Chains A and B, each alone.
Chain A
C-alpha cells in the first residue's frame, strides 16, 4: 500500500485512452464503474481538445454487480460499434473491473463484430499509465501488422533510386509534453536533410496508416517511453532500423541528424554546418555568464530528464545536482546519465521523497513536472516544467516545440526566464544598501512577488479557483532542528549579502557551524564558511 498525496502517473487504462485519443478510427470500450469517466476531462480540459475522447464506459454500479456485468460489457461494445463505426475496437478494464474478472476483451471478441477487436488486459494493479500507453501502441501495431510480416530472414527491398528516404515518427501521443509541436519541428528538420515523413503514430494516425508503417525505410523513436518496444518489434519483424537519439537540445539535435544521415545513407553535413539555433550564441553572450555553475535539479520522464541534463551541463554551463525520473521502466538510462554527472539518480514515484531530495540539494533552478513546480514554489526556487504530467498552461497556444533547433531556442528562453537576469543580478549588487531600493522586490520580468508565484500556480482545470487553504508550508518539509545561533555582528554581515543568495549563505554557514560543533556563528564563522564552500 502506497500513501499518495499526488500521483505522477494515471492508471494503466488511461495510457490506453491516450493511444485511442491520439488516433482517428479507433474506439475504446472501458469496463469501469461509474466515475471513471473523469478521464475524459484530461483530454477535453487539460489538453483543451475539441472532441470527446473515443471511449465508451460501462459505468457499472452496485446494482449491476448482482446481475451480470458481462452483459453490460457486451451491450457497451455492440452500441459503441454501431454508433462510432471504428476501424479497430479496443477493449480495456479499469482496476475495479479487473477485480470482477469478467474477461471483457474475450467477451467482446465473441460478438463477431466485422472489425478487429483488440482486448488489452493491462494489469492495473502493478503497472501505470506510461507503460499502458506503450503496451497499447505495441499491441495495436502488432495486431495489425503481424499477419503482414515477411518471412524470417527475408531481405528488405532496397529504396528505389531517386526516391527520398522515408521515416515514420513514432511515439507522440495525446497528453504528451509538446508532442504536437515536436512533430512539426522534426518533420521540418527531416525535410531539410531530404527525408520524407511517411507515418506519424500514434498521434495523427488511423489504423490503416499503421498498415503503411513497413513502407518506410526506417523509424524514428521520438519518445522511447511510448515507442521503444514498438520500434524494437518493427525491427525484428520488418527489419526496419530505427533512430534512437532524441533531438532535444542543440547537441542532441546534431547527433540526431548525424544518426539519421547514417541510417538513411544521406550526407547531412550541410544541415550540421548551418546550425540555425540561437542557443549557442545566447549562452556565449556575456549576460549568460551568471548561469555558470547554477545548481539545477531535474526530475521528469526519462526522455526529457536525460535531455535536460545534457542541455544544462553542456549548453547552458550550469551544474546538474539532481537527476531522476518517476518511470521505473526507464531507470537504467537515467542511472547511466546521472553517473556521467557524478550523482546518483533518483528513481521514485513518491512525491514526498522527491520533495525531500530537492530540499536537500538546495538547487537554484528546478526542471520538473507539475509536481516539482509545486515543490519549487513552496521552497521559493525558480522552476520550469519540462515533462508530463503537466497542467493546462503547459499546452500553450503558441508554437513551443522542445525538439530540434527551434526547440532549443524555446528551451533557452523558458528555462532561463524564471531566473534573475545577469545584468539584473549585477545591478542589485550595485544598488544594495541604497535607501530607495527594496531588496525583496522580485526581478522586473517576473512582476510582483505575489503574481510571480501565482504565475507558477496552475489555473485549476476544473474549478473556479478556490482559495488555498490555511495549510502552512512547513507541514510537509521536515522541521529544521535547532541549530547554532547567529551573533549580532554575523547577522548584520549576512544582511549585506544579496538577498537572492542570502538563504544559501545562511544554510551553508549553519551547516558549516553544525559540522564543527559550533554553538554560535560569528562573523569569522561566516567568512570561514564562505571560504570553505566557495561561491
Chain B
C-alpha cells in the first residue's frame, strides 16, 4: 500500500505503516487520560474513581466533561496541597484518611480506582502500593486498583487503556483451552446487547464484555480466550491480556456497516462459522443499516473533511466516512499511530491519505484555514473559533460519548457529521 505519513508539516512518503514516524512534540490540544473517567464511571456503576492530583485535575474533570449536572458523581479528586508536598509519607496517611471519609459516604463502592495524575507522577507517589494497602485494610469489602490518567503518560482515551490494563490482573482464570470471546473496550449497554444477540445467532460464546457493567463481576480469562477489541486505543490492555494467554483477533473496528461486518467476521472466522451462515445472519441488520445510512450519504458525499488529533477514533471514522459516505479526506490527525492496532484500518484508507501523528495545532490550523474543508473534526477549544471563521465543525468528544458502533448506529454516526452541514444550510442569519 502507499500512504503518505506526515509529521508536523513535512510530508514523508510511506511504503507501509511499518515505517518509523517521528512525532511532532509541539503544542497539542488534547485532554489527558483523566477524561476517561467520564465514561468509565458511567459504565461501571459500582466503582468510584479518586484522582490523586491537583486542583487542575479536579477542575479539568468538572469542566471538560460538563458532568456537573450530576449532584453526586462517582468520582472525586484528592487535591494535594502545599503541605502535602513537604513529605511523601504524610501524603499516604492523608490519602488513607480521605478514602475512609469517602467510604463512609459511599458504602456501596465495590471498586475504588486511585487514578494517578501529572503531579502524582512527578512526585513519584506510589499509588500501586497505596492500592495494596487500602485493599488489605478492607478485606473482602473493597478492591482498590491504581492506574495512571496523567497527561505525561496518556492522551484522552488512553485513560481507558491504563484503567483496563490495571484490571486485567484481577480477572478470574478460565480453564486452559476453554474457548470464549471477550469483547474489550467500553460500549454503550444498548450496543453490547445488539452485539450479544448477533454473537448468539452466530453460535459464538461464551461471550463476555470488558469492562463489565459491574466492576465486581469481572469476566474470566484463559488461554482459550479470543479477544475482539471494540475500541482502537487499547494497546496496553491487549498486551496484558496476551500475557495471560489470550489471543487478540486482528480486525477493523465496528464503526460503520463495513467495519462492523469485518469485526464480526473476524470472530466468526475464529469460531469457524461458515461464510454463508455469517452472511445470512448479517443480511437483515446490514440491509437495514444501509437503508438508514442512505438518508445521510447524499448530504456527505463529495464533502471534504479534516481531523484534528483527539480521541484515536479518527482513523476508523475517516475510513467509514470515506468508504461508506463518499467523503473526501483532506487530512487525518491522530494523537499517536499504533501500527498494530490500526493496521487493518489503515489498509482500508485510500492511497495517499495525509495521516498526521501528534500534529502542531497552530500549523494544522493554518492548513485548515487555507484548504477550508467542508467539515472539521476537532476538540471543544477549537470548535467555536473555527465556526466563527465560517468553517463547519464536529466536536470530537461527542464521538466518544455517543453510541456509534454496530449496524444500528451506523446511520446515527453519519448523522452526527451531516447535522452541522444541514444546520449551516438552514440558518439564514
Q: Determine the interface band of chain A, counting residues with CB < 8 A from chain B.
A: 35 or more
Question: Distance (Å) between the CB of B28 and the closest chain A CB?
Answer: 4
Q: Are the CB atoms of B401 and A370 closer together than 8 Å?
A: no
Binds B, one of A123-131, A191-199, A306-314, A336-344: A123-131
With A and B bound together, what is the CA distance between A128 and B27 in angstroms? 25
Binds B, one of A42-50, A285-293, A424-432: A42-50
With A and B bound together, what is the CA distance between A457 and B70 in angstroms? 9
- The residue in chain A whose Cβ has the minimal distance to the Cβ of B69 is A457
Q: Are the CB atoms of A95 and B67 closer together than 8 Å?
A: no
Say whether, besides A33-B150, A125-B85, A4 and B77 are in contact (CB < 8 Å).
Answer: yes
Contacts of B68 in A (CB 8 A): 6, 370, 374, 391, 458, 460
Contacts of B269 in A (CB 8 A): none
Question: Distance (Å) between the CB of B41 and the closest chain A CB?
Answer: 8
Q: Which of B367-381 contact A (CB under 8 A)?
A: 379-381
Q: Which of B58, B122, B402 contacts A99 (CB 8 A)?
A: B122
Binds A, one of B101-109, B127-135, B291-299, B339-347: B101-109
A64 within 8 A of B: yes
Q: Are the CB atoms of B69 and A461 closer together than 8 Å?
A: no
Contacts of A375 in B (CB 8 A): 71
Q: Which of B21-54 contact A (CB under 8 A)?
A: 25-35, 38, 41-42, 45, 54
Binds B, one of A323-331, A410-418, A468-476: A468-476
Question: Distance (Å) between the CB of A328 and the closest chain B CB?
Answer: 13
Contacts of B384 in A (CB 8 A): 44-45, 48-50
Question: Distance (Å) between the CB of A263 and the closest chain B CB?
Answer: 38
Say whether, besides A50-B385, A57-B27, A99-B123, A1 and B56 are in contact (CB < 8 Å).
Answer: no
- The residue in chain B whose Cβ has the minimal distance to the Cβ of A36 is B56
Contacts of A36 in B (CB 8 A): 32, 56, 60, 151
Contacts of B397 in A (CB 8 A): 462-463
With A and B bound together, what is the CA distance between A392 and B22 in angstroms? 39
With A and B bound together, what is the CA distance between A6 and B72 in angstroms? 10
Q: Are the CB atoms of A5 and B60 closer together than 8 Å?
A: no
Contacts of A4 in B (CB 8 A): 55, 58, 76-79
Q: Which of A9, A14, A76 contacts B27 (CB 8 A)?
A: A76
Q: Which of A56, A126, A465 contacts B82 (CB 8 A)?
A: A126
Question: Distance (Å) between the CB of B357 and the closest chain A CB?
Answer: 13
Question: Distance (Å) between the CB of B171 and the closest chain A CB?
Answer: 25
Q: Are the CB atoms of A34 and B28 closer together than 8 Å?
A: yes
Number of residue pairs spanning A and B whose beta carbons lie under 8 angstroms apart: 241
Contacts of B67 in A (CB 8 A): 460, 463, 466
With A and B bound together, what is the CA distance between A458 and B69 in angstroms? 6
Binds A, one of B91-99, B160-168, B238-246, B318-326: B91-99
Q: Which of A47-82 contact B (CB under 8 A)?
A: 48-52, 56-65, 72, 75-76, 79
Q: Are the CB atoms of B32 and A35 closer together than 8 Å?
A: yes
Q: Which of B72, B97, B381 contacts A37 (CB 8 A)?
A: B381
- The residue in chain A whose Cβ has the minimal distance to the Cβ of B39 is A466
Say whether, besides A4-B76, A462-B65, A469-B42, A44 and B27 are in contact (CB < 8 Å).
Answer: no
With A and B bound together, what is the CA distance between A164 and B363 in angstroms? 49
Say whether, besides A33-B151, A51-B388, A95-B56, A40 and B381 are in contact (CB < 8 Å).
Answer: yes
A-B contact pairs, 7 of them (CB 8 A): A4-B76, A40-B29, A60-B152, A63-B25, A460-B67, A466-B67, A468-B70
New A-B contacts (13) at CB < 8 Å, excluding given A38-B63, A40-B29:
A1-B79, A1-B97, A35-B33, A38-B60, A48-B384, A51-B385, A59-B151, A61-B153, A72-B25, A79-B362, A375-B71, A458-B66, A471-B72
Chain B contact residues, CB within 8 Å of chain A: 25-35, 38, 41-42, 45, 54-56, 58-60, 62-74, 76-82, 84-85, 91, 94-95, 97-98, 101-102, 105-106, 118-119, 121-123, 150-153, 155, 362, 379-385, 387-388, 395, 397-398, 401-402
